[in-house]
A = this chain, B = another copy of it.
């Protein structure tokens, strides 16, 4: 048994806000500001260059990687942190295709987050060796895994619908045909029970600013299966992935294990805040978390459907095939979401018509869900969203 959920006391959420967007940017953990002060004033200001040793900056990426590893079922040393998720996708993909040199197909799905597909496109163009990216509908992926496929690259939870791939079944299918498996855990880490080791997938990547509450632009992570990592020649072979960075050798020699997937100088300020944020996971049982997530999501669907007939559920109804978010389709979804946000219930909108709500059991309880549903009902039924101000698009939604 883990600690009781939620743990609202560990977070600062503004008064009057019900935050259903932790799947996009997690809330502020209480220790974050103090940690940033310490990093800046005591460490950078006080210890200057020496802080790489004296304040433990050199060790920080690995410590944070190991902590994330615990949350996704990955052994110590198998997760490296740094860069952005897009960069980590590129690293995984570049390594994976080299493992199947006789195959030219990269298989993803059209519900994958666009940046993952874009990074694949960029790699394919850069290589210019006849690779092909296939992106069928998510439900057609399993049967598209054929012996032509070098790499299957999927985001476990669809960023729009919340639809969840069966990680073990898809990985097994990929391996049956000899393909390499990459999972993007952007909407999984801190949201689901993930068992990377048990899945047997070769690679996983993810970000830390969503369910892990690392803050805006927090560093990403990459997992490489321990039995294959020693054969990986990193495409992005930066000095901090070198076996002995400060020997300043002229030639690259990869560091041991997943450390080789590090690239450049780590973002210490953001890593420190992330490390602080991860403390909120101490003692949390991921089974409890998943149960709470499903309870909150089911309750939200029930409440919203009962109150808002104009909204169409765009997520799987079965909680076992859904991540920790619920989406509704609505023609005027952009305007409606702006009006709802104006009332203190924060979700977000994804083109073309998806109103998206995320559920974060660390800082949400049943009462929040019911209160949110009532506000959504008021906005939808009284058509507050028709106000002109809600129909002017800003760049980010």
A-to-B contact residues, CB < 8 Å: 12, 14, 17, 19, 21, 24-25, 27-28, 32-33, 36-37, 39-41, 43-46, 48-53, 57-58, 82-87, 90, 94, 98, 110, 113-115, 117-119, 121-123, 125-127, 135, 207, 209, 215-220, 233-240, 242, 246-252, 263-271, 273, 341, 346, 348, 350-351, 394-397
Nearest chain B CB to A237's CB is how many angstroms away?
Answer: 3
Take A33-B37, A48-B14, A83-B83 as given contacts and tell me if A247 and B126 are in contact as well, using a CB distance cutoff of 8 Å. Answer: no
Closest B residue, CB atoms, query A234: B122
Q: Known pairs A44-B215, A121-B237. 10 more at Cβ < 8 A?
A: A12-B45, A25-B48, A28-B41, A28-B45, A53-B394, A114-B250, A119-B236, A122-B252, A127-B127, A267-B270
Contact A247 B118 (CB under 8 A): no
List 9 tightest A-B contacts by C-beta distance, closest first.
A84-B264, A122-B237, A115-B239, A217-B267, A86-B238, A28-B45, A216-B268, A86-B264, A118-B252
How near does chain B come to A75, taking the closest CB pair, in angstroms? 23
Interface centre among A49, A87, A265, A394 (most CB of B within 10 A): A49
Does A25 contact B49, Cβ atoms closer than 8 Å? Answer: yes
Q: Across the interface, do A264 and B40 meet the contact criterion of CB distance under 8 Å?
A: no
Contact partners of A83 in chain B: CB under 8 A:
83-84, 87, 264
Contact partner, A263, options B84, B114, B126, Cβ 8 Å: B84
Whether the pair B263, A86 counts as a contact (CB closer than 8 A) is yes
Q: How many copies does the complex hold?
A: 2
Give me 29 A-to-B residue pairs in the complex whose CB atoms sit less than 8 angstroms apart, sorted by A's number. A21-B49, A25-B49, A28-B44, A33-B37, A33-B40, A33-B45, A36-B36, A44-B215, A50-B346, A52-B216, A83-B83, A83-B84, A86-B238, A87-B87, A94-B126, A110-B250, A114-B249, A115-B242, A117-B250, A121-B237, A122-B238, A125-B237, A207-B265, A216-B269, A217-B266, A217-B270, A246-B397, A247-B351, A248-B351
A121 touches B252 (CB 8 A): yes
Q: How far is the CA of A319 from the CA of B351 in the complex (A)?
A: 57
CA distance A125 to B351 in the complex (A): 39
Nearest-CB residue, chain B, relative to A47: B14
Out of B50, B82, B207, B269, name the residue touching A341 (CB < 8 Å). Answer: B50
Inside 8 A of A98's CB, which chain B residues have their CB?
126
- The residue among A17, A113, A251 with the most chain B CB atoms within 10 A of its own CB is A251
A105 to chain B minimum Cβ distance, whole angstroms, is: 17
CB-based contact A238/B118 at 8 Å:
yes
Residues from chain B with Cβ under 8 Å of A209 in the complex: 265
- Return A255 CB to nearest CB of chain B, in Å: 12
Of B21, B49, B85, B265, the contact of A48 (CB 8 Å cutoff): B21
Q: Which residues from B are CB-within-8-Å of A217? A: 265-271
Q: A394 contacts which chain B residues (CB < 8 A)?
A: 53
Find chain B residues with CB under 8 A from A240 CB: 115
Within 8 Å CB of A266, what residues of B? 216-217
- Give CA–CA (A82, B115) in the complex, Å: 16
User: A40 contacts B48, CB within 8 Å?
Assistant: no
CA distance A125 to B237 in the complex (A): 10
Say yes or no: A216-B273 contact (C-beta < 8 A), given A24-B49, A236-B86, A252-B118: no
Residues of B within 8 A of A85 (CB): 264-265
Closest B residue to A23 using CB positions: B49
Q: In the complex the two chains form, is A40's CB within 8 Å of B250's CB?
A: no
Per the bound structure, the CA–CA distance linking A94 and B119 in Å amounts to 14
Asked whether A238 and B49 contact (CB < 8 A) given A215-B268, A246-B397, A263-B86, the answer is no
A192: shortest Cβ distance to chain B, in Å?
21
- Residues from chain B with a CB closer than 8 A to the CB of A242 are 114-115, 118
